[in-house]
Amino acid sequence: MLHADEAAALQASIERVGARVAAELQANPGVAYAVAFVGNLHRGIDQTMAQAALRGEPVACRAGCASCCSLRVEVAPAEALLIAQQLRSGPADRLEQLLQALRQQQFLLGQGGAVRPPCAFLQDALCSIYPWRPAGCRKAHSFSATACQSAAAELPQDLAITLAAEALQRGTALGYRQHGLDGAVQELSAAVLQALEDDMAASRWYADAID
């Protein structure tokens, strides 16, 4: 729970980011730019994490640790479209393999089992879409791998990192909305599968906004 002054500062940051994002989208019309622009959000979160490390607060997150890759991840439409675009430009056999994994994931989620299946993009304990992974994955951090592995209710995290990442993520969503673009988040595997199965998904998303 944030104090009133922290909540007010967060809201002000969200609005600042939102205004910048809306202005950028306004100045650079077109679906290609609107999809690629979400990469700025990702780079911003990565920089926030890197700055924390420079301050001497190295997080416990390492390649090969996939403790948080069984949790639900939500993505904005631009993030799902960016992942789909990158996957389409890669090898066809890899794309087919991932389509099968995503369909299987949807089937398992539909079954509603007690244990959530790991992310469909997780391969040999590594993220197979690491350069395009969504903000929800990038901002996840912990100072204790042990706490993550034991699925502790409270993970040791840095409030400053969390707030900076939240401001970027929610501010970006606000900017897209102010530009008229749908920013409704969806579960990661469902959103990417939908974007991969519909060749017109990106152009429809953008056209709906400017109609």
Stretch that binds ligand SF4, among 24-32, 37-45, 114-122, 149-157 (CB under 6 A): 114-122
- Does 41 interact with ligand SF4 (rule: CB under 6 A)? no
> 59-94 burial by CB neighbour count: b if 16+ within 10 A, else e?
bbeeeeebbbbeeebebbbbbbbbbbbebeeeeeee
**Residue 195 C-beta: closest distance to ligand SF4, Å:** 14
137 in contact with ligand SF4 (CB under 6 A):
yes
Contact between 65 and ligand SF4 per CB under 6 A: no
User: Counting contacts by CB under 6 A, is residue 133 touching ligand SF4?
Assistant: yes
Contact with ligand SF4 (CB under 6 A) among 14, 31, 69, 202: 69
CA separation for the pair 53, 31 (Å, rounded): 35
User: Environment class of residue 121 by beta-carbon count within 10 Å: exposed (0-12), middle (13-18) or buried (19+)?
Assistant: buried
Smallest distance, ligand SF4 to C-beta of residue 94, A: 15
Q: Rounded distance, CA 108 to CA 105, Å?
A: 5
Least Å from the CB of residue 21 to ligand SF4:
23
Angstrom distance (rounded) from CA 205 to CA 22:
16
Residues near ligand SF4, by CB under 6 A: 69, 73, 119, 121-122, 127, 129, 133, 137
